[in-house]
Amino acid sequence: MASPNPVARHAVPPRAGRRERRRAEIRERIFRAALELFAERGFLETTVEDITEAADVGKGTFFNYFQTKEHVLATLGAERIAAIERALERAKVGPALPALKEMAGDLAGQSAERAPLLRAIYAAHASCAPVRAELHKRIHVGRRRLTEIFAIAQQRGEVRRDRSPAELARLTQIVLFGTTLAWALNPESSLRGTAEDVWEMIVPSLRADERHKRNKSRRSART
C-alpha cells in the first residue's frame, strides 16, 4: 500500500543521535501504518493490535508513542494547526490573503489526496465521542489563529470590516471543512487544486470594499 504522505512527519534534526533517529523512524512507521488501516478498514474497525501488526512492532511499543489510536488522529490534527500557525506568521510580515490561500493549499495537501482516509476520519468524528472532542479542540485552536490573521488583515485594510475577525474565521473554517468533505465524497479532481479554486472564488467577498479603501487613502492624504 502507498504511504499516505511521502514526507516524514516526525523528522529529527540531522545532528540527532542514532537513538533519536530510530525513535522517529518507529513513530513514523506506526503513524503511517495506522493511517493506512484507517483508510482501508475505517477508524472504528481498526484496533491497536492491527496497527502494531502492520507496523511490525510490539503493542508496548505503540503505547510508547501514542496513548490511544485517537492520539494518532490528534497528531494528524496538530499538523493542520501548524499550517494555520505558519499562515499567521506569514500574515504578520506580508499580505494576509495570499497567506490564507497558501494555507488552504497546505491543508488540502496534508490529506495526501486520499479520499478513503478522509472519509474514515470524518466517520470517526461523527460516531466516536473522543475523536469528536479532539476535533472540537482543534477547531477552537485553529479558529483563534485564524481570528488573529483576520484581525491583522482588517487593521491593514485588506479585509472587510462589517464582520468581526472571529466571524470571518468561523465562516472560513466552514468553507474549508465543507470543501474537504465534498471532495472526499466525490474525488473527481485534485483536492489541492479544488481548495485553491474555492479560495479564489471567496476572496472577492473577503476583500475590503474599494470605496472604503479610497476614502481611507483620501483621509491619509489630507493628514
Q: Does residue 8 belong to any structural domain of this protein?
A: no
Task: Say if residue 19's pLDDT is above 70.
Answer: yes
Q: Does residue 34 belong to any structural domain of this protein?
A: yes
pLDDT value at residue 157: 95
117-126 CB burial, b ≥16 within 10 A, e <16? bbbbbbbbbe
The CA angle 56-60-62, to the nearest 5 degrees, is: 60
Of 38 and 19, the structure prediction assigns the larger pLDDT to 38
Q: What is the mean pLDDT of the chain?
A: 85
Tens digits of per-residue pLDDT, 23-80? Answer: 999 999 999 999 999 999 999 999 999 999 999 999 999 999 999 998 888 888 888 8
pTM of the predicted model as reported, rounded to 2 decimal places: 0.77
Domain, as residue range, for 179: 70-222
Q: Does residue 98 belong to any structural domain of this protein?
A: yes
Looking at the structure, do residues 189 and 100 belong to the same domain, yes or no? yes
- The CATH number for 28's domain is 1.10.10.60
Task: Say if residue 13's pLDDT is above 60.
Answer: no
pLDDT value at residue 87: 96
Model confidence band, residue 193 (pLDDT cutoffs 50, 70, 90): confident
Q: Residue 74: which of 138, 5, 146 has the closest Cα? A: 138
Give the residue-averaged pLDDT of 175-193.
88
pLDDT value at residue 164: 97
Q: What's the number of domains the chain is made of?
A: 2
Point out the domain boundary residue: 39, 65, 91. 65
The span from the CA of 36 to the CA of 33, in Å, is 5
pLDDT value at residue 223: 58
Looking at the structure, do residues 57 and 136 belong to the same domain, yes or no? no
Q: Does residue 2 belong to any structural domain of this protein?
A: no
Q: Does residue 11 belong to any structural domain of this protein?
A: no
